[in-house]
Amino acid sequence: MKSMYIHIPFCKSICSYCDFCKFFYNQELVNKYIDRLILEIKDNYRNEILDTIYIGGGTPSSLDLNSLEKLLSFIKDNIKVSKELEYTIECNVMDISKEKLELFKKYNINRLSIGVESFNKEILSFLERDYDKNKILTYIKLAKGYYDNINIDLMYAIPNETLDTLKEDINSFIKLDIPHISCYSLILEDHTKLKNKNTSYIDSDLDYDMYKLIEDTLEKNGYVHYEISNYAKDGYESRHNLCYWKNHKYYGFGLGASGYIDNYRYTNTKNINKYLEGNYISDKELITKELNASNYAILGLRTKYGVDKKEFKENIGKDFKDMYDTSDLCEDNDKYFLSKDKWYIENSILIKFI
Ligand code: SF4
């Protein structure tokens, strides 16, 4: 494994659309959790040199300085990393402070992922995000004083959102001059506040128009659309997420985290009591050759890098074209890939590779 995901399941407030594995912040629980998380990593890490580490959540930045320092110093002292390490931590706008940024720097974190979502007052209130436009501008400016490698998330397809309000949002995002933007349309997951209120999806034609507006505007402004939901300036693609999309193996530690080790994909329990007792894994699936081949296709075809012919043959033992109907795909010397105009409807195409 060359990558490690670490999950911090605590948030200071709960967003209306969220179905991630998270709890309201509770310092006593945080203390127990960090101790157990460190044990889980100690027991399972096999001393490889890692290329990427990603601390996600929940809201990792919500941790108090002592808990953050305990986790980050453990990682620094115990995990071997390459010189080109990409080391990301997810942050909430309201957690960004000089003290936390200095701590992140001290422990070699070199990339921030900040959940901005929108500048629009109504949208932020609908999503139950606890900041406004001025706070975004203030805290992103502060973060940029320490980091240039930053991602910000944009959420669209919100009920009552129009192409004009989205246009304003995209322009505000571009003005921040951040090298990576992830764009997600609102998904109404079960058991979220929005779903419980019977919220409806926006019209599907409008959803497509919004997707295209984002793509056209970001591309005009120098961003490369490299994965269905992700845009980056040259050299700022998320190497950690590319590990997932390239079907590479990785550690997943923490409550509800998923990983891919040896020939198994596993998911950790979302039950905090079981986790604290050391019963980490709740599901484990053997990845057969067939499943592995299918994962190469389903994950790789989300990106402009597609499925690498050589890597596929080395791992699966057969040529991609001998296993699948490639009539919907483009091909060059090295790879099979989906043309970008098909990404929006990719689910209907990827079904053939399952
Ligand atoms: S901050 Fe993230 S994890 Fe926490 S409630 Fe909001 S969306 Fe969910």
pLDDT for residue 92: 97
User: Is residue 158 lining ligand 1, measured as CB closer than 6 Å?
Assistant: no
What is the tens place of the pLDDT at every residue in 82-125? 999 999 999 999 999 999 999 999 999 999 999 999 999 999 99
User: Is residue 259 lining ligand 1, measured as CB closer than 6 Å?
Assistant: no
How far apart are the CA of 129 and the centre of ligand 1, in A?
9
E strands in the chain: 3-8, 10-11, 23-24, 49-57, 80-91, 111-117, 150-156, 180-185, 224-227, 230-232, 251-253, 258-261, 264-268, 281-286, 307-308, 330-331, 335-337
CB count in 10 Å sphere of residue 346: 15
| Residue 347 pLDDT greater than 90, yes or no | no
User: Is residue 59 lining ligand 1, measured as CB closer than 6 Å?
Assistant: yes
- Taking CA atoms only, the protein residue closest to ligand 1 atom 5 is 14
Which atom, in ligand 1's list, is nearest to the CA of 13? Answer: 5
Nearest-angstrom CA–CA distance, 322 and 279 = 42
Which atom, in ligand 1's list, is nearest to the CA of 11? Answer: 4
User: Is residue 14 lining ligand 1, measured as CB closer than 6 Å?
Assistant: yes
Structure tokens at 235: 């050299």
- Taking CA atoms only, the protein residue closest to ligand 1 atom 3 is 58
Mean pLDDT, the chain, whole residue set:
97
User: Is residue 214 lining ligand 1, measured as CB closer than 6 Å?
Assistant: no
Q: Do 253 and 37 touch, CB atoms closer than 8 A? A: yes
Confidence tier at 329 by pLDDT (50, 70, 90): very high
How far apart are the CA of 10 and the centre of ligand 1, in A?
8
Local structure of residue 48 (DSSP, 8 states): P
- Taking CA atoms only, the protein residue closest to ligand 1 atom 7 is 18
Q: Do 202 and 159 touch, CB atoms closer than 8 A? A: yes
Structure tokens at 43: 């027991």
CB count in 10 Å sphere of residue 27: 12
How far apart are the CA of 58 and the centre of ligand 1, in A?
5
Nearest-angstrom CA–CA distance, 212 and 217 = 8
| Residue 354 pLDDT greater than 90, yes or no | no
Which atom, in ligand 1's list, is nearest to the CA of 9? Answer: 3
Q: Side-chain half-sphere of 182: how many Cα atoms within 13 Å?
A: 16
Nearest-angstrom CA–CA distance, 255 and 6 = 9
3-state helix, strand, coil in the chain (%, to 5): 40, 25, 35
User: Is residue 254 lining ligand 1, measured as CB closer than 6 Å?
Assistant: no
User: Is residue 179 lining ligand 1, measured as CB closer than 6 Å?
Assistant: no
How far apart are the CA of 139 and the centre of ligand 1, in A?
18
* Residue 268 neighbours by CB under 8 Å, 6+ apart: 7, 252, 253, 254, 255, 256, 257, 258, 259, 275, 280, 281, 282
pLDDT for residue 346: 87
- H-type helices in 224-284, by residue range? 239-245, 272-276
pLDDT for residue 54: 98
Confidence tier at 335 by pLDDT (50, 70, 90): very high
Look at the pTM and tell me if it is higher than 0.95: yes
**CA dihedral angle for residue 31, residue 105, residue 240, residue 133, rounded to 10 degrees:** 90
Per-residue pLDDT averaged across 198-210, rounded?
95
Beta bridge partners of 283: 267
Nearest-angstrom CA–CA distance, 144 and 176 = 9
**233: helix, strand or coil:** coil
**CA distances for 95 relative to 89, 105, 115, 134, angstroms:** 12, 15, 11, 15
How far apart are the CA of 233 and the centre of ligand 1, in A?
26
Nearest-angstrom CA–CA distance, 321 and 275 = 43
- End-to-end Cα separation, the chain, in angstroms: 25
Nearest-angstrom CA–CA distance, 113 and 56 = 9
How far apart are the CA of 18 and the centre of ligand 1, in A?
6
Q: Phi, psi at residue 308, to the nearest 5°?
A: -75, 120
What is the tens place of the pLDDT at every residue in 127-184? 999 999 999 999 999 999 999 999 999 999 999 999 999 999 999 999 999 999 999 9
**CA distances for 288 relative to 7, 265, 294, 354, angstroms:** 27, 11, 10, 13
Mutate to test the pocket of ligand 1, among 20, 23, 116, 255 (most ligand atoms within 8 A of CB): 20
